[in-house]
Every structure is written in structure tokens, then in C-alpha cells.
């Protein structure tokens, strides 16, 4: 996989592999001790129906997408659901 700077990902659109637009990347969480990335925090689009999403939600209503679900990063961040 090509290295991409995190600053280039901020605000990037996130889409599921089935083509559903989930929202925009807000932040990425990581384990500070190991450096391992944990979750993408995604600000969901207003029109996104909650029954179409299988991800946990944080206290601010952002989707917590496991980094392991990321399939591609190009024009969109594509994630498996």
C-alpha cells in the first residue's frame, strides 16, 4: 500500500464497498504505546440512515470504523461493512 500522510486524509469522503456514502473523515484514533491505528472517526452525512450502518458510534455521533475495514484510499476512503 502506498504511504499517505494523515494530514492528506482529513475531510476525505468515506464510502462503503457497496457504494453507500457514509460521511467525511473527522479523525483517526491510535494506541499511543504501540502506534497501531484503531479507528476512523467519520462524521456521518445527514441523509445516512442508521439502519444502513453496522459501525459503533461515539458520544458525538461519529461512526467508529475499524482501520482493518479500510480497503482503498483514493478519491474516497473505501471501507468494508
Question: Is 1 inside a domain boundary?
Answer: no
Task: Residue 74: count other Cβ atoms within 10 Å of its Cβ.
Answer: 9
The confidence band for 71, taking pLDDT boundaries of 50, 70 and 90, is very high
Residue 78 near residue 71 (C-beta atoms within 8 A): yes
Residue 29 domain boundaries: 6-79
**Per-residue pLDDT tens over the stretch 5-45:** 566 677 899 999 999 899 999 999 999 999 899 999 999 99
Question: Is 72 inside a domain boundary?
Answer: yes
CATH number at residue 51: 2.30.30.240
Give CA angle at 46 (71, 64), nearest 5°. Answer: 40
Distances, alpha carbon 39 to alpha carbons 8, 17, 47, 50, in Å: 17, 17, 22, 19
Q: Where is pLDDT greater, at 48 or 72?
A: 72
Question: Is 56 inside a domain boundary?
Answer: yes
Question: Is 63 inside a domain boundary?
Answer: yes
Q: Which residues contact 7 (CB under 8 A, 6 or more apart)?
A: none
Give the predicted TM-score (pTM) of the model: 0.84
Amino acid at each position: 500500500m502506498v504511504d499517505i500522510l494523515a494530514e492528506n486524509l482529513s475531510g476525505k469522503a468515506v464510502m462503503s464497498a457497496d457504494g453507500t456514502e457514509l460521511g467525511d473523515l473527522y479523525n483517526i484514533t491510535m494506541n499511543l504505546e504501540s502506534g497501531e491505528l484503531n479507528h476512523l472517526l467519520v462524521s456521518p452525512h445527514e441523509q445516512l440512515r442508521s439502519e444502513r450502518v453496522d459501525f459503533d458510534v461515539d458520544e458525538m455521533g461519529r461512526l467508529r470504523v475499524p482501520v482493518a475495514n479500510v480497503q482503498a484510499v483514493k478519491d474516497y476512503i473505501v471501507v468494508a461493512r
